[in-house]
Chains A and B, each alone.
Chain A
Amino acid sequence: MSELIMSTGNKAVAAAVKMAKPLVVAAYPITPQTEIIESIADYVEAGDLKARYIPVESEHSAMTACIGASITGVRVFTATSSHGLLYMHEMLHWAAGARLPIVMGQVNRTLAPGWNIWAEHTDALSQRDTGWLQVYVSTVQEAYDATLMAFRIAEDNRVLLPVMINMDGFLLSHIMQPFEMTEPGDFIPPLDLPHKIDVNDPKGYGAMSPANVHYQFRFDMEKSMRASRTVINETEAEFAKRFGRSYAPVEEYFCDDADVIIVAMGTLGKEAEVAADLLRKEGIKAGVMRIRWLRPFPLDMNIKGKDLVVIDRDCSFGFGGVVAGEIQARYPDAKIASVIAGLGGQEVTYEDMAEFVRSRKMGTEFWFGIPQEEQ
């Protein structure tokens, strides 16, 4: 094992990008992501990363410049957060629809009004229909590892869809944890984009496409999204084999014999393990499922007969927790107690999560911190 380095989540993502050697990085600053692109700008300036850094004038242009660069067949990266992600929204569709393997660091942050820079997942979840793969990470090491894997997964010819690595604002973007800056070697093969622009073989890209072909394009995207499940599994297995750190699309913690499972993403999903330990000491057989890959959505969660306490750090107004709703939709028999918690960076501790489990009312939605009579 190489030496452990103390690093923030942001700097770990930047370090992984340096390892992956993109040729173009286009980005625009936004808290709490800025440290990622500042670090990359430093790498470029120092000659440690031989890339063109394009300091664009907006996130819309950041994603667009990535698209323009990517179609020439080069590896590209960008990072954003919150309002920046939403400002990119249109171009997220363009990137995925153009089948470009763009990788993006996405630091989850609340949306205004009022101004709030703390963690929430609503930003990324509101972009879940754009055709991007989405992974949510929970440690600095995982942020690094997932970024390396994101390039390999996105660029796999069975996928050719962009990947967004989601990390909780401040809670993970700014925490310092020890991590191992593994050299990926040839883990990420050279990019060979089959549809890259070639002046000797001129083609039109994104021209008018009538319904019959457009429909086919969209089905192709869905097929690739489905195929990405296999590619993710293969990539994570290969990563574990080479570097000794294993990940699964849904990380399970004491789920086999559990009666009740806390389901959460990001740092909440990691801290939930401490809640499960606490509950087990009290005699409650609790486990944790931390959803890492939300897109493609996990289809083989082993939740039969178990109570799920799904903690959403988001809300789809007029519907409820997005993750709870998606699980219910894909697993109609699932027994769910939905908890909306942590919006706007609201403090949620493992003790709070243990209490969500103890006081769960299946089939209801509970807003943490709101008095019972207002629920």
Chain B
Amino acid sequence: MTEIPKEEMLLKCPSTCAGCGSLLALRYILKAAGKDTVLVIPACCNSVIQGVYPYMLHTVPVYNIAFAAAAACASGMSEALRAKGEKTNVIVYAGDGGTADIGIQALSGALERGEDFLYICYDNEAYGNTGMQRSGATPLGAITTTTPNGKTVNKKDLDRIVEAHNLPYQATACSSYPADIYNKVKKALSIPGPKFIHILAPCPPGWRIPSEKTVEIGKMAVKSGIWVLWEKEYDKFTVSAPSRAAMKRPVPVGEYLKAQGRFRKVDEKTAAVIQANVDKNLKKIALEAAQSEETE
């Protein structure tokens, strides 16, 4: 069992929606990172969640920056701190829009340059802060305020894009598995260079689920295989324990879709496409894990 510190790094004053997955994830991220950390936050839900001046939620410095700018800001910060001989963790905490869409150029640049920082994307699969518009990370079939009949194209495969930069450490996680998040952040911060963690963070108002179902829906995502937990340390690709178990006998993705109001317009045909996409992806991941094991 992972020993997670009891000390809370977030004060009890967040202005989140009830049941926010991104805040749950951040709680464990900061426990893993500790006090010698600076958070860089571009425009996203977490710009608002942190409170209104002069109050703040976090017990580490938080630097807010423009939507497209998180990875570049972290680059400058990390270079300056390292030039001064300081080891302070620089962690970006950005939403999916700020990562997969408007911020992807800066992210790609920072990853290519090999900046020493950890980029964490919490993915609630839409522009949550502006009221749930579709983003590149919105999944096929999901209703948003700009896809009122459901999104007609697939979710952008952000992880493959990031993977193309050959990072020393990359992982996926989900806010429903705090120990997994904690361990992955710990490991990431022990490795120099650019690190990336992509966390699925259910959003009760956006996904149209009851506030108390955040953890349950996240687990359903993993159990259905629509979200797979894995990590890649240099070339070593490993499927994480919860997904290893789930992949043996994935729950049909239809159950995950049915549990959320945002998928209510998904017809059988689209549901079949989504299931086929999941099956294809699971095969790909199983193959990659097997190949990685072989080369060990």
What residues of chain A have their CB less than 8 Å away from a CB belonging to chain B?
A: 23-24, 26, 51-52, 54-58, 60-62, 64-72, 74, 76, 90-91, 94, 197-199, 202-210, 213
A303 to chain B, nearest CB (A): 40
A202 to B65, CA, bound (A): 17
Q: Is B64 an interface residue (CB 8 A)?
A: yes
Q: Which of A67, A205, A206, A213 contacts B76 (CB 8 A)?
A: A67
A57 near B108 (CB under 8 angstroms)? yes
Choose from A67, A74, A202, A207 the contact partner of B83 (Cβ within 8 Å): A74
The yes or no answer to B38 lying at the interface (CB within 8 A) is yes
**Measured CA separation A69–B80 after assembly (Å):** 5
Tell me whether B135 is interfacial, beta carbon within 8 Å. Answer: no
Contact of B56 among A26, A55, A56, A207 (CB under 8 A): A207
* Known contacts A57-B105, A57-B108; A52/B73 CB under 8 A: no
Assess A61 versus B106: contact at CB under 8 Å? Given A52-B79, A68-B73. Answer: yes
B37 touches A199 (CB 8 A): yes
- Report yes or no: A54 in contact with B113, Cβ–Cβ below 8 A: yes
The number of residue pairs between A and B whose CB atoms lie closer than 8 Å in the complex comes to 155
Can you give 14 A-B contacts (C-beta < 8 A)? A23-B84, A24-B76, A26-B79, A56-B75, A64-B76, A66-B76, A67-B69, A72-B84, A76-B80, A197-B77, A202-B60, A204-B58, A206-B65, A208-B47
User: Which residues of the partner chain B approach A24 to less than 8 Å between Cβ atoms?
Assistant: 76, 79-80, 83
Which residues of the other chain, B, contact A94 by a CB distance below 8 angstroms? Answer: 65-66, 69
Our pick among B77, B78, B83, B109 for the contact of A23 (Cβ within 8 Å) is: B83
Q: How far is the CA of A126 from the CA of B40 in the complex (A)?
A: 29
Q: Nearest CB to that of B35 among chain A residues?
A: A199
Q: B75 touching A199 by the CB < 8 A rule?
A: no
> Which of A57, A74, A76, A204 has a CB less than 8 Å from the CB of B112?
A57
Select A72's contact among B50, B56, B69, B81, beta carbons within 8 Å: B81
Residues in B lying within 8 Å of A, measured CB to CB: 35-38, 40, 47-48, 50-54, 56, 58-66, 68-69, 71-84, 88, 105-106, 108-110, 112-113
B193: min CB distance to chain A, Å: 15
A52-B80, A55-B113, A68-B80 known; A91 vs B69 contact (CB < 8 Å): yes
B55–chain A nearest beta-carbon distance, Å: 8
Q: With a CB–CB cut-off of 8 A, which chain A residues contact B36?
A: 199
User: Given the complex of chains A and B, what is the CA–CA distance between A76 and B75 in angstroms?
Assistant: 13
Contact of A197 among B38, B54, B64, B68 (CB under 8 A): B38
Roughly how many angstroms separate A56 CA and B78 CA in the complex, as a whole number?
14
- Alpha-carbon distance A86/B83, docked complex (angstroms): 29
Given contacts A58-B106, A207-B52, A207-B53, contact A202 B80 (CB under 8 A): no
Residue on A nearest B67 in the bound complex, by CB? A90
Q: Contacts of A67 on B, CB cut-off 8 Å?
A: 65, 69, 73, 76
Q: Which 3 A-B pairs have the closest CB atoms?
A: A68-B76, A57-B109, A65-B76
Chain B residues, CB < 8 A from A208 = 47-48, 50-53
Q: A102 CB to closest chain B CB, in angstroms?
A: 10
For B52, B61, B64, the residue with the greatest tally of chain A CB atoms inside 10 Å of its CB is: B61
Report B234 CB to chain A, min CB distance, Å: 24
Residue among B53, B65, B68, B106 making CB contact with A204, cutoff 8 Å: B53
Using known A-B contacts A64-B69, A74-B83, A94-B66, determine if residue A204 contacts B61 with beta carbons closer than 8 Å: yes
Question: Which residues on the B side are within 8 Å of A76 (C-beta)?
Answer: 76, 80
- Asked if B75 and A61 sit within 8 Å, CB to CB, the answer is yes
**Is there an interface contact between A61 and B69, defined as CB atoms closer than 8 Å?**
yes
CA distance A24 to B115 in the complex (A): 13
Tell which of B58, B82, B88 touches A52, judged by Cβ atoms closer than 8 Å.
B82
Chain A residues in 8 Å Cβ range of B53: 204, 207-210, 213
Checking B61, B69, B76, B81 against A54 with a beta-carbon cut-off of 8 angstroms, the contacting residue is B76
Q: In the complex the two chains form, is B75's CB within 8 Å of A58's CB?
A: no
**Beyond A23-B83, A70-B80, A208-B48, 5 additional pairs, beta carbon < 8 A:** A52-B80, A56-B72, A70-B76, A91-B66, A199-B88
Q: How far is the CA of A208 from the CA of B41 in the complex (A)?
A: 12
Residue of A nearest to B89 (CB): A199
Find chain B residues with CB under 8 A from A202 CB. 35, 58-62
Please tell me if the beta carbons of A56 and B61 are within 8 angstroms of each other in the complex. Answer: no
Residues of A within 8 Å of B59, CB to CB, are 202
Given A57-B105, A202-B59; A26-B52 close (CB under 8 Å): no
Distance from A253 Cβ to chain B, minimum over Cβ atoms (Å): 41
CB nearest to A207 among chain B residues:
B53
The answer to whether A68 touches B83 (Cβ under 8 A) is no
Residues of B within 8 A of A54 (CB): 75-76, 79, 113
Q: How far is the CB of B52 from chain A (nearest CB, A)?
A: 4
**Complex Cα–Cα for A74 and B78 (A):** 12
Report the Cα distance A197→B38, complex, angstroms: 8
CA distance A58 to B105 in the complex (A): 8
Contacts of B81 in A (CB 8 A): 72
In the bound complex, how far is the Cα of B112 from the Cα of A55, in angstroms? 10
What's the least CB distance linking A339 to chain B, in Å? 38
Query: Across the two chains, which residue of chain B brings its CB closest to A51?
Result: B83
B74 neighbours in A (Cβ, 8 Å): 68
Q: Which residues of A are found within 8 Å of B79, using beta-carbon distances? A: 24, 26, 52, 54, 65, 69
Contacts of B113 in A (CB 8 A): 54-56
Cβ-neighbour of B72 out of A60, A70, A210 (below 8 A): A60
B109 engages A74 (CB within 8 Å): no
Q: How many Å from the CB of B216 to the closest CB on chain A?
A: 31
In the complex, chain A residues whose CB is within 8 Å of the CB of B110: 61
- B61 touching A68, Cβ below 8 Å: no
